Chain A
């Protein structure tokens, strides 16, 4: 019905699929459709979940997954252009802020230029990279891109493409601006991320984000791997949410195969997800304290995180990256000590949390450093696609565990922590309170793990039926999604990970502007991005 309305409004549009419909439009109608979907009362697709470039052989295009945060429905929008030499599509970066970096990613991978986009630079690859790696006719030989030994100068100018096809160069920084380079090697960027920051005294004027220092081309690699082979790569995106990310990939493949996993598996996976969340949030707490100069607190957090890692290690063999989920279940049954140690940990942590509050949460300096700093409004959070604890601190109830339950989250009782202020302090509080909620979830599950198999048997060669599949889970720092486009082969035609940290990084320039340089560190710390997840 809604589709009919869209087709009536935009005559060129064509709808496919039923559960999550795909609307295919010509590039000329793409912007009109996007505007309609965003603003119409019945669609209200204010959240761009993910944007994927796609190579269809004779044409290139993008697939955008939109969601309405108020109405809950999802819709794919697809537009393609047949010009493979100079492909150009209209931008939607002014409609959804998150499209800004995503369109740069598509440009980087597929060479599609977005007319009207203010900043058309490569995002992950070097500026002198030859070719667009995710195109199907890409020349991956070393002759095309030999290992270059000289460093890649980052230009101070950027291109923007006008609607009529012309180009404009624009300089990123004025001559008078005092530009300080923060990263890629810097203690507070939590990995190899680089900001170029224009300062006026201590005040941040502009931030230019540079990604790609640990870009590994995981999405490209996945196109050449069979489904069981690609699972370990999912752990290596956000190493602090390794289990959750792999969970998402397994769920997506299982959904495509219409494979029902045993109840025991669901319980184990959910418990492991929460343990992973605990370890991630404890690490967040520690590193934030360290960023703000409280070094002692850092050690307290790590001391307690170690206990979570020990529990996971006993069952999975891994501490940081577990390799535990497989298609159809988990790789091994839980260790006999598993439930006992979790119960011990549930008793152990709350007094420690009290100590955390005394040493940091209640500290007047810590409060002053975080309260009212880097305020992200609800609208901006949705527009930038900032999900997870950071989004919930801005008043957006975006918890996938509540909105689209998976595992056994529909059977447990837990509170979704939501604040409305959206400042650094609330982002911090959300995570600290989620630690308590995770403990509550564990408490409800740990005694009720049903007996049964820990995995169902699957065929060694898995072929997904033709179609597109998207499945998301609540990672430690937001909604992590897996988008698979299958043509019925044993490898995916296109696989895209909806990164949780990518939107978090894209929002840094917006939040840091006008704040002090020390606030940039506090904002980065409370957003809690993980760089391997950004660069993929």
Chain B
């Protein structure tokens, strides 16, 4: 299986050959940052296009089909529009916080994005508490949303932000606990080791019942965490027009928009990493020939394929279900998901202690 670290190390040695170590480090950081932002933007644009096409097919429509072949350039055109649009200055807003909010959201999202293992050896951040770091930085986004609602000086925005705060803090618990369940199974917090641990079978199969429960809970909570339907209460266009980003325009709005799609990608990516083996091909113990064939498929494709399936499922939710009400949403978390999760964690501990998993 191709290891991307060959390329990264080659670049590293090349740079160190022509400049001092410190300078090489700086150049590498800049390069990584650029690659990260580029990947971030490209994936977001691709997702926006995919979402439009997928929802169009759900709704007996064609979707974008005028700009470029099959409308492929539509989201690029939209991006250009967004970039050159005026950022409208609004009276009576807290100027500093109003401007800061979208950056907090986008920074949290990029930081979480950098933890994802895209392929073998293709990962920006990887250290011994990687998954913990990912959960931590992704929750910073809430601060941005709350600030956006508060600083906008708009009643719709404030209600949207308060809903968002209540929702994300609640569902953060479920996400954390279901990740913890998988950490118990794997015995590590490091993301590469989590993936390596699934070489002989994905955790979803290895951990059988508790892993399955954790997977379902994670999917529900992850959808809620990204503020997508049926949990899109913070925006709830038919109630609050656009919720916390009502007053934003131009690229400030664009940041919220990008972050929303990238958060969906991150949630799907984490689900793929924790439950579906990340970039690890499908291996069945004992089937040597089958395993070898699977290994020929590049690891990047495995990862993106799994993420793609997860994203499709999340979109499927959104375009099928009506929206919940705030009290129903919180009831679902605190009365159902959280107790189930706690019991499931206990169950997983029992499974691991008595070695009942595969």
Residues of A within 8 A of B (CB): 178, 180-181, 186-188, 199, 202, 289-300, 303, 359-360, 363, 365-366, 368-369, 516-519, 521
Partner of A202, one of B58, B232, B237, B326: B326
Q: For the A-B complex with A293-B236, A303-B60, A521-B239 known, give 17 more contacts whose Cβ atoms are closer than 8 Å.
A: A180-B156, A180-B159, A187-B238, A188-B239, A292-B322, A294-B321, A294-B322, A296-B319, A298-B59, A359-B320, A365-B322, A365-B323, A368-B328, A516-B326, A518-B233, A518-B325, A519-B325
Decide yes or no whether B229 CB sits under 8 A from chain A.
Answer: yes
A404: min CB distance to chain B, Å: 37
Contact A365-B321, Cβ < 8 Å, known A187-B241, A295-B59: yes
Could you tell me the distance between the alpha carbons of A518 and B322 in the complex, rounded to whole angstroms?
12
Decide yes or no whether B55 CB sits under 8 A from chain A.
Answer: yes
Query: Which of A181, A188, A300 has the largest count of B CB atoms less than 10 A from its CB?
Result: A188
Can you list the 10 inter-chain pairs with the closest CB atoms, starting with the nearest? A293-B323, A299-B59, A294-B322, A292-B322, A188-B238, A518-B325, A291-B238, A293-B322, A180-B155, A296-B319
B19: min CB distance to chain A, Å: 54
B166, closest chain A residue (CB) = A202
Query: Which of A291, A295, A521 has the largest count of B CB atoms less than 10 A from its CB?
Result: A295
Could you tell me the distance between the alpha carbons of A235 and B229 in the complex, rounded to whole angstroms?
38
List chain B residues, Cβ under 8 A from A303.
60
List chain B residues, Cβ under 8 A from A363.
321-322
Decide yes or no whether B149 CB sits under 8 A from chain A.
Answer: no
Could you tell me the distance between the alpha carbons of A291 and B61 in the complex, rounded to whole angstroms?
20
Instruction: Mark each residue of chain B from 141 to 176: 1 if its CB lies under 8 Å from any CB of chain A, else 0.
Output: 000000000000001100100010000000000000
Are A365 and B324 within 8 A (Cβ)? yes
Are A294 and B238 within 8 A (Cβ)? no
A136: min CB distance to chain B, Å: 44
Are A178 and B325 within 8 A (Cβ)? no
Are A366 and B322 within 8 A (Cβ)? yes
A359, closest chain B residue (CB) = B320
Could you tell me the distance between the alpha carbons of A158 and B217 in the complex, rounded to whole angstroms?
52
List chain B residues, Cβ under 8 A from A296.
55, 58-59, 319-320
Chain B interface size range: 20 to 34
Decide yes or no whether B234 CB sits under 8 A from chain A.
Answer: no
User: Between A and B, how many residue pairs show CB distances below 8 Å?
Assistant: 84
List chain B residues, Cβ under 8 A from A291.
238
Are A187 and B237 within 8 A (Cβ)? yes
Could you tell me the distance between the alpha carbons of A363 and B321 in the complex, rounded to whole angstroms?
8
Are A521 and B322 within 8 A (Cβ)? no
Partner of A299, one of B60, B230, B327: B60
Could you tell me the distance between the alpha carbons of A181 and B319 in the complex, rounded to whole angstroms?
29
List chain A residues, Cβ under 8 A from B323.
292-294, 365, 369, 518
Could you tell me the distance between the alpha carbons of A369 and B329 in the complex, rounded to whole angstroms?
11
Are B319 and A295 within 8 A (Cβ)? yes
Are B239 and A517 within 8 A (Cβ)? yes
Could you tell me the distance between the alpha carbons of A186 and B239 in the complex, rounded to whole angstroms?
8
List chain A residues, Cβ under 8 A from B320.
294, 296, 359
Could you tell me the distance between the alpha carbons of A337 and B237 in the complex, rounded to whole angstroms?
41
B326, closest chain A residue (CB) = A202
Could you tell me the distance between the alpha carbons of A363 and B324 in the complex, rounded to whole angstroms?
11
Q: 18 interchain pairs (CB within 8 A)? A: A180-B155, A188-B239, A202-B163, A292-B238, A292-B322, A293-B236, A293-B322, A295-B319, A296-B55, A296-B58, A296-B59, A296-B319, A299-B61, A303-B60, A359-B320, A369-B325, A518-B325, A521-B238
List chain B residues, Cβ under 8 A from A293.
229-230, 232, 236, 238, 321-323
List chain A residues, Cβ under 8 A from B59.
295-296, 298-300
Could you tell me the distance between the alpha carbons of A294 and B328 in the complex, rounded to whole angstroms?
16
A288, closest chain B residue (CB) = B322
A296: min CB distance to chain B, Å: 5
Could you tell me the distance between the alpha carbons of A297 and B328 in the complex, rounded to whole angstroms?
21
A529: min CB distance to chain B, Å: 15
Could you tell me the distance between the alpha carbons of A298 and B323 in the complex, rounded to whole angstroms?
13
A180, closest chain B residue (CB) = B155
A351: min CB distance to chain B, Å: 15
List chain A residues, Cβ under 8 A from B237.
187
A299: min CB distance to chain B, Å: 4
Query: Which of A291, A292, A293 has the largest count of B CB atoms less than 10 A from its CB?
Result: A293
List chain B residues, Cβ under 8 A from A517.
159, 239
List chain B residues, Cβ under 8 A from A518.
233, 236, 239, 323, 325-326
Could you tell me the distance between the alpha carbons of A521 and B232 in the complex, rounded to whole angstroms?
15
Instruction: Mark each residue of chain B from 280 to 291: 1 if its CB lies under 8 Å from any CB of chain A, else 0.
Output: 000000000000
Q: Which residues of B41-77 are within 8 A (CB) of A?
A: 55, 58-61
List chain B residues, Cβ under 8 A from A519.
325
A368, closest chain B residue (CB) = B328
Could you tell me the distance between the alpha carbons of A369 and B238 in the complex, rounded to whole angstroms?
14
A366, closest chain B residue (CB) = B322
List chain A residues, Cβ under 8 A from B241.
186-187
List chain B residues, Cβ under 8 A from A181.
155
A201: min CB distance to chain B, Å: 8
List chain B residues, Cβ under 8 A from A289.
322
Q: Which residues of B221-260 are within 8 A (CB) of A?
A: 229-230, 232-233, 236-239, 241
A367, closest chain B residue (CB) = B322
Could you tell me the distance between the alpha carbons of A366 and B327 in the complex, rounded to whole angstroms?
14
Could you tell me the distance between the alpha carbons of A295 and B320 in the complex, rounded to whole angstroms?
8
List chain A residues, Cβ under 8 A from B233.
518
Partner of A516, one of B55, B155, B322, B325: B325
A361: min CB distance to chain B, Å: 11
Could you tell me the distance between the alpha carbons of A521 and B236 in the complex, rounded to whole angstroms?
11
B238: min CB distance to chain A, Å: 4
List chain A residues, Cβ under 8 A from B319.
295-296
Query: Which of B59, B230, B319 has the largest count of A CB atoms less than 10 A from its CB?
Result: B59
B254: min CB distance to chain A, Å: 22
List chain A residues, Cβ under 8 A from B156.
180
Could you tell me the distance between the alpha carbons of A516 and B330 in the complex, rounded to whole angstroms?
14
A287, closest chain B residue (CB) = B238
